[in-house]
Structure 1
């Protein structure tokens, strides 16, 4: 009978992904606040687009990081 053990290298990869997600969760809204605070600036639209992309990337990285961590704990090694 095989026992499922946590693969530590994959676990650390998932934790690293969640750390990047955490950084994106802070950077995205800060950039969005900066963009929405000064609408007369010439970089208003590009900064707003970049901020929205970073926020979307943060959500994606959260789901990806959780999936990697769950795979490290519950997936059988072939």
Structure 2
């Protein structure tokens, strides 16, 4: 009878991915706020584009990190 055990290396990888997500969740909206509050500055468009890209990457890394964590706990070897 085989028991499922948590793959610790995979779990650490998932937690690191969630750390990237956390950084992106703060950085993306901050860049968007700075961009939208300074419409007359020359960096208006690049700040908004980079903020949107970072927000999208944060969502992607959140799903990827949760998937890695779930695989480390429930996937059979």
Q: TM-score, normalised by structure 2?
A: 0.97
Q: Which runs of 5+ in 2 are unaligned?
A: none
- Structure-2 separation of matches of 1:62 and 1:11: 14
The match for 1:63 is: 63
Q: CA RMSD in A?
A: 0.6
Instruction: List structure 1 runs of 4+ shifted beyond 3 angstroms.
Output: none
- Structure-2 separation of matches of 1:5 and 1:21: 26
Q: Which runs of 5+ in 1 are unaligned?
A: none
Q: TM-score, normalised by structure 1?
A: 0.95
CA displacement, residues 20-78 of structure 1 (integer Å, 9 cap, x when unaligned): 1001000001100000011011111111000000001111111100000000001112x
- How many residues of Structure 1 are paired with residues of Structure 2 in the alignment? 77
Matches within 5 A, 1:1-78: 1-77=1-77
